[in-house]
Amino acid sequence: MTWLLNTLLGSLRIGVTEAFKADKDSRKINLGVGAYRDENGKPYVLNAVKKAEEILRTSNPDKEYLPITGLPEFTKAAIKLAYGAESAPLNENSIAVTQSISGTGALRIGGAFLGRFFPSAKTIYIPTPSWGNHTPIFRDSGLEVKQYRYFDKKTVGLDFDGLKEDLKNIPEKSIVLLHACAHNPTGVDPTPEQWKVISNIIKEKQAFPFFDMAYQGFASGDTTRDAFAVRYFVEQGHQVALSQSFAKNMGLYGERVGAFSLVTADPEEKSRVESQLKIVVRPMYSNPPVHGARIASTILNTPELNKEWEGEVKHMADRIISMRERLYNNLVAQGTPGEWGHIKSQIGMFSFTGLTTPQTKTLAEKAHIYMTADGRISMAGLNGHNIDYFSESVSKVVKG
């Protein structure tokens, strides 16, 4: 009955959010959530989303099933956003795509597709560390999961030498998972020059790049800039797979809007791949939910709404960047021991602070500040009301 015991033990582990909820102190801060919060620490529904919902409400759409691969207007717009309007395979009609249950579902479809059809050893290499759900998603898809070095604890930056060495040593024709931008959990991304080197190594190894793009627009505030790696790889002739999520950049977390796509050789191969994608999806959930895809499609396909949305993505990204600046300035002004430049240079929603597990524990117990034990914080949980208290508390715990 080990399985039953493990289930019970699993349910006893208290998560960051549960501990936060149980804390009654008015100064408490939750930096564990992977969702954007506004200046008042509240969930944020984008204006573009509200307007799209209003358009949908007045058009009174039906609630019929979608096709297995989803809403065509949505999937078409999603791949245009990711690959760019100028993309050669996009314009040649060679990108196979299916709607998915957000980014997680896209990774799961991709994993299952590769698990079934990838011609050589079904091993996927993911960075260390990576988003906690990558390993279980790919393992459950029938792939073997291995790691390549990514993060250097000493510099709190990219371990580029380790990454290169590990990728050069993977067996030929392996699958490599790459975070397209705003790496979770570290907030450390390769530079454009480093992406070029990675692209060359992957080409030499005849490896297959699988991009996870959960934060397009969220990293820099610019959806084009954040798509650099994906577009560069495609320009270099890689046939990439791509997972897209609209959870963060449209704030559509619970609507579960995403897409899985794969660059193929030509329109004929594209239709064969799409047929196989249908065979993968059909027994999983038959067809995807309609409402969120309609919202995203309305935003992406209505020029004024699209413009407003791009502005809101930039607003969210800029607010996070301004919190990074303030946190850095506060920590330095308070004479906090250590080098804090990484707080400013890291990208996206998350920051690996470099705080140790005992320090995170002290922050929870003494200052009512909650984050994951690895010292990762969601920058979106910081705002004008709590940033000074947070910085002082961190400074205090680091000074010991």
Annotate each residue in 12-51 with x if it binds ligand PLP (CB under 6 A) or - if it does not, as one string: ----------------------x-----------------
74, 99 contact by CB (below 8 A): yes
* Shortest reach from residue 91's CB to ligand PLP, in Å: 27
* Shortest reach from residue 60's CB to ligand PLP, in Å: 28
Of the pair 77, 394, the CB lying nearest ligand PLP is at 77
Annotate each residue in 340-379 with x if it binds ligand PLP (CB under 6 A) or - if it does not, as one string: ----------------------------------------
Question: Which two structure tokens, joined as six digits, stand for 39?
Answer: 């200046």
Q: Does the N-terminal peptide bond of residue 129 adopt cis geometry, omega within 30 degrees of 0?
A: yes
Stretch that binds ligand PLP, among 22-30, 56-64, 98-106, 116-124 (CB under 6 A): 98-106
Q: What is the 3-state secondary structure (H, E, C) of 143-162?
A: CEEEEEECEECCCCEECHHH
Ranges within 127-156 binding ligand PLP (CB under 6 A) = 131
Question: Which two structure tokens, joined as six digits, stand for 367?
Answer: 């200052």
The reply to whether 131 belongs to the active site is yes
CA angle 360–364–366, rounded 5-degree value: 110
Catalytic residue among 159, 166, 189, 212: 212
Confirm or reject binding of residue 258 to ligand PLP (CB under 6 A): yes
Which runs of E-coded beta strand occur in 264-391? 350-352, 369-370, 376-378
Ranges within 165-194 binding ligand PLP (CB under 6 A) = 179, 184
Q: How far is CA 149 from CA 166, 332, 375, in A?
A: 7, 30, 19
The reply to whether 212 belongs to the active site is yes
Of the pair 31, 367, the CB lying nearest ligand PLP is at 31
Task: Determine the size of the site formed for ligand PLP (CB under 6 A).
Answer: 12
Confirm or reject binding of residue 99 to ligand PLP (CB under 6 A): no
Look up tokens 């349910």; give the residue: 11
* Shortest reach from residue 226's CB to ligand PLP, in Å: 13
Catalytic residue among 51, 166, 189, 248: 248
Question: Which two structure tokens, joined as six digits, stand for 260?
Answer: 């899985």
Confirm or reject binding of residue 245 to ligand PLP (CB under 6 A): yes
CA distance 276 to 278: 5
CA distance 109 to 102: 11
Question: Which two structure tokens, joined as six digits, stand for 225?
Answer: 């800039």
Q: What is the dihedral of CA 35, 38, 43, 45, to 10 degrees?
A: -100
Annotate each residue in 213-232 with x if it binds ligand PLP (CB under 6 A) or - if it does not, as one string: -x------------------
Of the pair 174, 245, the CB lying nearest ligand PLP is at 245
The reply to whether 189 belongs to the active site is no
Question: Which two structure tokens, joined as six digits, stand for 383?
Answer: 């705002």
Q: Which residues are catalytic?
A: 131, 212, 248
